[in-house]
Structure 1
Amino acid sequence: MKRFNTYILIILLVISGKTFAQQTPADKQSEPVTIVGATAHLGNGEVIENSLIIFEDGVITEVIAANLTKRQNPGKIINAKGKHVYPGFIAPNSTLGLVEIAAVKATEDDDEMGEMLPNVRSLIAYNAESKIVESMRPNGVLLGQIVPRGGLISGTSSIVQFDAWNWEDAVVKENDGLHINWPDAFRRGRWWRDEEPGLKANKEYQENIQKLSDFFTSSKAYLAGERDYKNLPYLAMDSVFNGNKKVFVHVNGEKEIMDVIQFKKDHALKGLVIVGGYDALGVAKELKSNDIPVLVNRPHSTPNKAYEDYDYPYKLAKLLQDAGVLVALESSGQMERMNTRNLPFYAGTVAAFGMDKEEALKLITSNTAKILGIDDKYGSLEKGKSATLFISEGDALDMRTNILSHAFIDGREVSLETHQTELWKRYSKKYKDQESK
């Protein structure tokens, strides 16, 4: 009986392993790759019809019009005539790889206990084997900023690519930014505390800002002193003060954004970024003059206020860009990890509501790369940059035509198969077989 149970266990493990095991990451690029004939959307606003793109050892060596050369092209040749080439899309402010199933507590690793946690690093909790992460690639989302949640200071994010065995292999930029959850000046009554319903001033607002300010001041004093004891949160702030780590402030209201700008000045912070910025348009002039970019929340949402235009979330990115603010898109919110795969379609929605399509593309490529500080290697198709790109059958910002045939991360051709595509093929075949009977 024991032997029988052992056999059953082995069979179950084999089946589950086949069903749930991580795909093997792609091997390092071994030969040059030449893509010929595609319409190349460079990610910087430019388009090259009938393009020639060559990359070797993971780096782009040529991006030109195909009719400018008659030479013999090296390595593997991909005929992409009639197709489109794009730089890999970048998903900022994401919890991909930190939570797999929200209803299962054991799979959640995006929030630590405490208020001031700059020393918490999301990278070491990142699960490269996540099935959700895998599902990003078929839509062209190949890079992401992995961000912790919770507390006043959530911790430190890192940027990864989406085809790796583990976080060590995945990391593109380690400890890129500190994340602050700015308190709300107004909030609704909390029923679990027997508070009256409705919006009212947050009595703890100034107190929480003072907590943040005191923490920054104490950290700076500690770092400037003799350090006769080790304080990990204070030590983690060193890279913030020297400018090596950006500060991402998650905030939406006008008053709160103005207070963030003052906080930036008070503590001489470099590289501050607004995340969310729902009411940022009202203070766009101040954001521009202080060189503060905004990661705008996904446009597929309804207006927060009754007097706002129905399409305000759709056109907010364009309005901020028109005001001179550097803008990119992020996708936090309800079901944020699954919805991150819709990043290109968020940009498509912005284009449908007034923004030029190549400018909308920048919201998920070069603008994002600039804001995250990785534009030296990623975000656009340019000579000397990483060969992180994909080929689509059609317009990648349209869900009807964004059908990928090839995708590359640092020159490695990655798989476009996922658990979802396997199920799609299985059940498509099932219904086709039934129709043919």
Structure 2
Amino acid sequence: MKIKLIYSLLCFLFLGNIIAQQTPAPKQTEAYSIEGATAHLGNGEVIENSLIMFSNGKIAHVGNANSRIARMGTVINAKGKHVYPGFIAANTSLGLAEIDAVRATRDFDEVGSMLPHIRSIIAYNAESKVVETMRPNGVLMAQIAPRGGVISGTSSVVQLDAWNWEDATIKTDDGVHMNWPQVFSRGRWWMGEDPGLKPNKNYQKSIDKLTKFFANAKSYLAGNKTPKNLPYEALQGVLNGTQRMFVHVSGEKGITDAVTICKELGVKNIVIVRGQEAEKVADLLKANNIPVILERAHRLPNGEDADYDRPFRAAKILTDAGILVGLGMEGDMERMSTRNLPFYAGTYAAYGLGKEKALQLITQNNAKILGVDNNVGTIEVGKDATLFISEGDALDMRTNILTTAFIQGRKISLESHQTKLWKRYANKYKNQ
């Protein structure tokens, strides 16, 4: 019996080593100088022949390689390559589920409808096999957001090379996520109803319920707070402006109602998420200084008579209107597809936005919207040395081949289960 138990433990340890993510990189101890690369700073600026130096996890110098300045530490010759700030994926449930078909691995929502006190960060799995597939494409940070209900809970911003959620956290509980009621609903075909879209007869009732919840929360917060009510207390940040309210909503009427009613409820910092048809209410968003986290452009337009390429041009239209635009990942296969974040930004670049402005969607803009732009999002002196070197254009899947990446100055592994399989089978066919 003892021998069987020992063999079983050894088997589990062996399987654990196979399945577990690679060990996170240690804290930076030596300085680095990246010389000769084309540096895309993430704020629209480009330095053709750049010199970037960093130590102790922070960027110490950004300039031209022709400058007569002493190089720090290990010098990386990146001539002919490109340097980018680490990409930031907004609005993703990355690390909250591993296998969609296995219920036990899904932890992105909770039972109930009004759950502002639910914290997604404590469910974040830093050892997710999905998380490690982000890094080879330059996605080094993400906003981990909950799903489900009317008010889903709070999100947090993490870096993607960590032992656990405490190590991963860049900003804890950056905002509360709300799913705005649907203006239109589809008929239940299984009950003989017309499956087409029609006005949601419960729309106003849902808004009234939401309004009442906020009214009760404000009364509670203004009183003696007894008995203790965690959902009401969790709204204090969005009511006093210290937290953002991420409102997941699409459609002209839905966005208009969401902005108007949230302001009436006393919500200070509103962010529109998904934002289909946001360009139709650009003036309203601009007047209220409300940013938009767009979803992926690879979808059909909402309206039957809309231009086929309207979703692809949305970022350009909103940016030209003076609205701060970021890029999120909510939708089908969102966790696995998050690795393609730079290529979705590349699609917006191809439809009028241009490469450097498209790059800003997933660097500076996302950092500003998530409230982490003091430390990440651009390559600037004093900010975290979270950046990577690519052989070519990072927004093009044909040329975004990373050679080196750093998170807070730590040189991280770019290996994943997928890269190992790629190398394995590349060698197989090379030898035939």
- 1:71 deviates by 2.8
The offset of 1:194, in angstroms, is 4.8
Q: Which moved more, 1:106-115 or 1:186-195?
A: 186-195
Structure 1 match to 2:403: 405
| Structure 1: distance between partners of 2:182 and 2:418 | 39
The one-letter amino acid paired with 2:162 is: A
Deviations 1:102-147 (A, max 9, x none): 1000000001000100000000000000000110000000000001
Amino acid paired to 1:179: H
Query: Are 2:142 and 2:158, in contact at CA under 8 Å, matched by a contact in 1?
Result: yes
Within the candidate set 324, 329, 335, 1:337 is matched to: 335
Equivalent in the alignment of 1:43: 42
Q: Deviations over 1:334-354 (max 9, x none)?
A: 111111110000111111111
Q: Which residue of 2 aligns with 1:385?
A: 383
**Aligned to 2:429, what secondary structure does the other structure show?**
helix
Over 3 Å counting, the alpha-carbon distance change for 1:232 and 1:194 in structure 2 is: farther
Let me know the Cα RMSD of the aligned residues: 1.3
1:68-126 deviation digits (Å, cap 9, x = unpaired): x2232111111111110000000010000001001000000001000100000000000
* Partner in structure 2 of residue 27 of structure 1: 26
Match of residue 116 from structure 1: 114
Q: Does 1:276 align with 2:280?
A: no
Report the Cα offset of residue 7 of structure 1.
Answer: 6.0
In structure 2, the residue matched to 1:168 is 166
Deviations 1:205-225 (A, max 9, x none): 011111111111111110110
Paired with 2:137 and 2:244, the residues of 1 have a C-alpha distance of 28
1:353 aligned counterpart, secondary structure:
helix
Equivalence for 1:210: 208
Q: Distance in 1 between matches of 2:215 and 2:190?
A: 34
Q: Contact between 1:94 and 1:146, CA under 8 Å: does it hold in 2? A: yes
The aligned residue for residue 139 of structure 1 is 137
**Aligned twin of 1:64:** 63
Which residue is equivalent to 2:146? Answer: 148
Q: Could you say which residue in structure 2 is the equivalent of 1:82?
A: 80
Q: 1:15 to 1:423 in 2, by over 3 A?
A: farther
Residue type at the aligned position of 2:28: Q
Q: Residues 350 and 174 of structure 1: is their aligned pair in 2 closer, same or farther, counting only changes over 3 Å?
A: same
Report how many residues are paired: 432
Name the residue aligned to 2:8. 9
One-letter amino acid of the structure 1 residue matched with residue 176 of structure 2 = L
Unaligned runs of 5+ in 1: none
Structure 2 unmatched ranges of 5 or more: none
Letter matched to residue 55 of structure 1: F
Equivalent-residue separation in structure 2 for 1:7 and 1:248 (angstroms): 50
Counterpart Cα distance in 2 of 1:159 and 1:189: 38
Q: Secondary structure at the match of 2:130?
A: helix
Q: Deviations over 1:258-286 (max 9, x none)?
A: 11111132023222000011111111111
Matched residue type, 1:167: W
Q: Which amino acid aligns with 1:121?
A: R
Q: Which moved more, 1:124-133 or 1:207-216?
A: 207-216
| Alignment CA distance shift 1:429-1:85 (3 Å) | same
Q: Which amino acid aligns with 1:361?
A: L
Question: Distance between the aligned counterparts of 2:10 and 2:259, measured in 1?
Answer: 60
> How far is the alpha carbon of 1:11 from its aligned partner?
5.1
**TM-score (norm: length of structure 2):** 0.97
* 2:20–2:129 contact (8 Å) kept in structure 1: no
- Which amino acid is the alignment partner of residue 11 of structure 2? L
Residue 209 of structure 1 aligns to which amino acid in structure 2?
A: I
Distance 1:399 1:44 in 2: 22
* In structure 1, C-alpha distance between the alignment counterparts of 2:266 and 2:218, rounded to whole Å: 11
3-state SS of 2:423 partner: helix
Counterpart Cα distance in 1 of 2:210 and 2:192: 27
Instruction: Give 4+ residue runs of structure 1 displaced > 6 Å after superposition.
Output: none
Q: Give me the whole-angstrom Cα distance separating, in 1, the residues matched to 2:264 and 2:13.
A: 59
Q: Percent identity?
A: 61
